[in-house]
Amino acid sequence: MRQRKNRVWQWFGTNHENNRSHLLKSQRGRKITNLPHRSAAIIGAGIGGLATAIALAQTGWHVRVFERRPALEAVGAGIQMSPNACKVLKSLGVLDTLLPTTFAPQAIEMRMGLSGRQVFSLPLKDVAKTRWGGPYVHVHRGDLLTCLLDRAQAMAEITIVVNANATQVHQNPNPTVQFADGSKVTSDLVVVADGMNSTLASQVVPASAPQFSGCIAWRTTIPMDQLNNAPPPTACAWVGPGKHAVTTRIRGGTMANFVGIVETKERAPESWRHTGDRAQALADFAGWDACLVEILTKAPDLFCWSLMERAPLVKWGQGAVTLLGDAAHPMLPSMAQGAAAALEDGVALAACLVGADVPKAIAKFQRYRQPRAARVQAMSAANLKLFHRRSWITQLGTYGPAALAAAINPNLLHRRQDWVYGHDPLGV
Ligand SMILES: Cc1cc2nc3c(=O)[nH]c(=O)nc-3n(C[C@H](O)[C@H](O)[C@H](O)COP(=O)(O)OP(=O)(O)OC[C@H]3O[C@@H](n4cnc5c(N)ncnc54)[C@H](O)[C@@H]3O)c2cc1C
């Protein structure tokens, strides 16, 4: 990602633009800062935090985004942007910039991991726009973050502050965030978008820490021209007893993306940046289709982390403080909806706030978003079990009807996706 000197500020930096320096000086001096207009403080510059910042700025808010990392890095691997997510990206003004970096899969496919035999293939590329109102694309998370950052940094209403590790949130007398260096910021609205391992969620609502799901995830990317056995040009789930893999293509089809989910009692670190042991990855997928084994053999890095989950929260917010994204609804990746849900949250929150009192808008936001997010969380967990069927009898009972439906009447399977992909995130 290119250098972002203009509008990304180091918490303790010294070379700030003069017209903005009043904010940082007062933060360093442990004073409480107020902005002249309706102001929002967002904790976390991930996909959820940045989308929310843009959506709020588009409706007239002054927004500061606080990120604990020292720099905004475009890290991650492939994520899927389904039509519901693309509709949000369009409304945020980033879809057109993002699309050239993406890959549109021809179909959603299921294959048996060991034999490689296709269970079903459901047309996607041509159906997505007509049926669900937006494209279905595979994206590098870094490219998506770059587009969101570029958009946010082009907006005068948004300031992004890095090296800002939020440690406390409270709302008496005003919504206030406290940082590790002791400084404080107060604003009319606080959005906690600090991700899966949120340290702030339990300060806002009764929230237990996410629990280990019993699965670890492997992820990697590799240039396609290094592979003899290319993964198919689809969103392909490779299923098998106690594990599954998903292959996609990203960056215009020039890179292959691999995610492998394995049931295990051995926890991995909960970090997206932890490098795993290649021998272990190869053992996990030993004997699986040649294209998967080749990716695991040749990929430059293999990241490995524990998948966490938490029962849906009943409450997401209180007063003028709300959770959003993974902090509110951590979900397993088996519906590829984590980033999409965070994007949907951002625009929905902004829409609820238009012309409304902040606590009332937060209550409305929760009423609107919580049931849908809880349903996606539950279906993601159910999908994972479905992909991991162990015996041939349960596999036949589960995959047989899907194969039959895809062959005879694909519309039946498309219809089952309508509530996810056809959702209008702006229709609050
Ligand atoms: C480094 C990284 C790599 C990822 N890679 C993938 C991937 O390859 N594939 C995939 O499907 N999903 C990936 N994800 C997850 C995916 O981006 C999220 O599930 C989804 O987008 C929801 O976004 P979010 O904004 O709620 O949370 P996140 O994207 O997790 O963003 C949360 C942000 O909050 C910041 N933060 C946390 N605590 C604090 C604090 N106390 N103070 C200030 N800031 C804080 C974090 O540094 C992070 O930038 C990744 C997430 C991260 C952080």
- Helix spans in 243-336 (H): 278-284, 290-298
Cα separation, 341 vs 375, in Å, equals 11
pLDDT digits (tens, 9 = 90+) for 123-136: 999 999 999 999 99
Ligand 1 centroid distance, CA of 198 (Å): 10
**pTM for the complete prediction?**
0.90
- Does residue 30 have a pLDDT over 50? no
Q: What is the pLDDT of residues 288-320, one digit of tens each?
A: 999 999 999 999 999 999 999 888 999 999 999
Atom of ligand 1 nearest to the CA of 194: 34
What pLDDT band is residue 59 in, cutting at 50, 70 and 90?
very high
Gap from CA of 186 to ligand 1 centroid (Å)? 23
> Do 413 and 406 meet the contact criterion of CB atoms below 8 Å apart?
yes
CATH topology of domain 8-74+142-209+311-378: FAD/NAD(P)-binding domain (3.50.50)
Measuring CA to CA, which residue among 280, 321, 287 is closest to residue 303? 280
Q: In Å, how far are 190, 247, 412 from 194, measured between CA atoms? A: 12, 28, 38
User: Which residues have C-beta atoms less than 6 Å from ligand 1?
Assistant: 43-49, 66-69, 75-77, 79, 141, 164-166, 193-196, 199, 219, 272, 325-327, 333, 338-339, 342
Give the pLDDT confidence of 152-170 residue by residue, as tens digits.
999 999 999 999 999 999 9
d(CA 387, CA 408): 22
In this structure, the residue with its CA closest to atom 49 of ligand 1 is: 46
- The C-alpha atoms of residue 276 and residue 267 are separated, in whole angstroms, by 12
pLDDT at 162: 96
CA of 174 to the centre of ligand 1 (A): 27
Sorted by sequence, the CB contacts under 8 Å of residue 315 that are 6+ apart come out as 205, 206, 366
pLDDT for 21 equals 30
Q: Is the pLDDT of residue 25 over 60?
A: no
Q: Quick one: which atom of ligand 1 is closest to the CA of 66?
A: 43
Beta strands in 22-179 (DSSP E): 39-43, 62-66, 78-81, 107-112, 118-123, 137-140, 158-162, 166-170, 176-179
Q: Over range 347-367, report the average pLDDT.
A: 95
Pocket test for ligand 1, best of 272, 273, 324, 343 (most atoms within 8 A of CB): 272
